[in-house]
Structure 1
Amino acid sequence: MTITITAFERSPDRGKGLARDMRVRWALEEVDQPYDVRLLSFKAMKEPAHLALHPFGQIPTYEEGDLALFESGAIVFHIAERQPGLLPDDANARARAITWMFAALDTVEPPIFDRALVRILERDEPWYEQRLRVLEDTIRKRLSGLSTRLGDADWLDGAFSAGDLLMVTVLRRLQGSGMLEEYPNLAAYVARGEARPAYKRAFDAQLAVFTAASTG
């Protein structure tokens, strides 16, 4: 059955690959699964047809036959469980990889995403500088712990896994902030993720959508 995912018709990240459909595209490319993409306008995301797939009116969603999923982490987990290449065969290593998936989305991503929102939505508020400082302090604590755990390794726990895929997509949101560069091993870690052929295919696919929308 053909897999269909949803993505922004006009992504607010302007083709940088920060929208969460990028995670799903990358996972599908890593396991060599073909997929279709249904592009949605912001208006269509709030209409009943899409809300039936995603109750919060966001992207991405995943459809395969009678199965419909939402939440990028859950979708990546589903892909990783069903296809070889993103989770280890060893039970303990598999559990650790899943732990890193949760760590990426539950521990590392929230202050990074909040920082991005604050810089857009709260810049003119009197509390902006303090709020930003608190978030950046939290981010650095997360990065410090992650940097220490990664050390000189290529990936978080042996071979590349879905945990690395999600962690790299989370850390990419810090590019250009200068914060990631404070931890050279993390900057190199992200670069390794971006150098993977599957990542490049996924990035090029989502960039083509932005380019078409910009010139159309």
Structure 2
Amino acid sequence: MKDSKLIVTAFDWVPGFAQGYVRDLRVRWALGEAGFSYDVEVIPQGKQKTPAHLKRQPLGQIPTLDIDGRIMVESGAILWRIAETSTALLPDDAATRDRVLSWVFAALNTLEPPVGMLATLELFVNDKDAAARLRPKIAAMVTGVLGRLVATLGEGPHIVGNFSVADILLTTVLLDVPDDLLTDRPSLRAYVDRHTGRPAFQKALAGQMKPFAENAAKYERAS
């Protein structure tokens, strides 16, 4: 993949609450850590369901990764493929690699769904009374997983051995966790701060935010 032509799709703009959280951030970060150069194709907001994009991403989502004309979808799958072809994001020994893969799935399948439910309640459910009734149950699901994550992490800087693709996915999911659920978990706060302080993350974030700033006026006029 290092010598391939890589193109990441991303939005040209999203509302403020989503800026810095769109999942192309994960892909940009992983590519940066791997040392792979790539181009970005920005898609106008609202155009992700056009036939051209649906042809490469049948669900009309962002991001995709074009690898020499071969399209990959789903950020978790994309990150694993990047990690497999890099020397920076996976350990060499099979046993530790299996643990990393397990935490990749834990981030995507166990932690991210209830965290996403909390975001949905806060941002997209108009019946605020109903949202308030549901939030404690979903928050309890999240805090249960966070507690087990704290116990596993201990004092270690990374979830498994050295920095890996699992840390990228866990960090980007933890960024979506409401502050009130992280207040009493300083080790997780430090974990997030440690990884978002990495140069590759900062470069990825700046790259995602740049078109948002450049196109904001266009969308403000249209609203």
| Per-residue CA distance 1:74-125 (angstroms, 9 max, x = gap) | 0000100111100111111111111111000100110101100111122425
Q: Would the aligned equivalents of 2:12 and 2:44 in 1 still touch at CA under 8 Å?
A: yes
- Which residue matches 1:197? 199
- Which residue matches 1:107? 110
Q: Would the aligned equivalents of 2:90 and 2:165 in 1 still touch at CA under 8 Å?
A: yes
- Which residue matches 2:209? 207
Q: Would the aligned equivalents of 2:118 and 2:139 in 1 still touch at CA under 8 Å?
A: yes
Tell me the distance in 2 between the aligned counterparts of 1:120 and 1:71: 23
Q: Would the aligned equivalents of 2:8 and 2:38 in 1 still touch at CA under 8 Å?
A: yes
| Per-residue CA distance 1:174-215 (angstroms, 9 max, x = gap) | 25x321122100000000011111111111111112111225
Q: Would the aligned equivalents of 2:33 and 2:89 in 1 still touch at CA under 8 Å?
A: yes
| Alignment gaps of 5+ in structure 1 | none
Q: Would the aligned equivalents of 2:14 and 2:45 in 1 still touch at CA under 8 Å?
A: no
Shift of 1:11: 2.0
Matched, 1:173 2:176: yes
SS at match of 1:68: strand
Q: Would the aligned equivalents of 1:13 and 1:19 in 2 still touch at CA under 8 Å?
A: no
Structure 1 residue aligned with 2:25, among 13, 22, 27? 22
Q: Would the aligned equivalents of 1:104 and 1:167 in 2 still touch at CA under 8 Å?
A: yes
What CA RMSD, in Å, does the superposition of the two structures yield over aligned residues? 1.5
Mean alpha-carbon deviation: is it higher for 59-68 or for 70-79? Answer: 59-68
- Which residue matches 1:157? 160
Identity of aligned pairs, percent?
Answer: 37
Report the TM-score, using the length of structure 2 for normalisation: 0.92
SS at match of 2:176: helix
Instruction: Rate the CA distance shift 1:179–1:191 in 2: closer, same or farther, 3 A.
Output: same
Tell me the distance in 1 between the aligned counterparts of 2:175 and 2:6: 26
| Per-residue CA distance 1:148-199 (angstroms, 9 max, x = gap) | 1101110011101000110000000125x32112210000000001111111
Aligned letter for 1:181? T
Tell me the distance in 2 between the aligned counterparts of 1:215 and 1:12: 12
Shift of 1:25: 0.4
Alignment of 1:19-98 (within 5 A): 19-98=22-101
Q: Would the aligned equivalents of 2:30 and 2:83 in 1 still touch at CA under 8 Å?
A: yes
Shift of 1:9: 1.2
Tell me the distance in 2 between the aligned counterparts of 1:13 and 1:112: 19
Instruction: Rate the CA distance shift 1:136–1:15 in 2: closer, same or farther, 3 A.
Output: closer
Report the TM-score, using the length of structure 1 for normalisation: 0.95
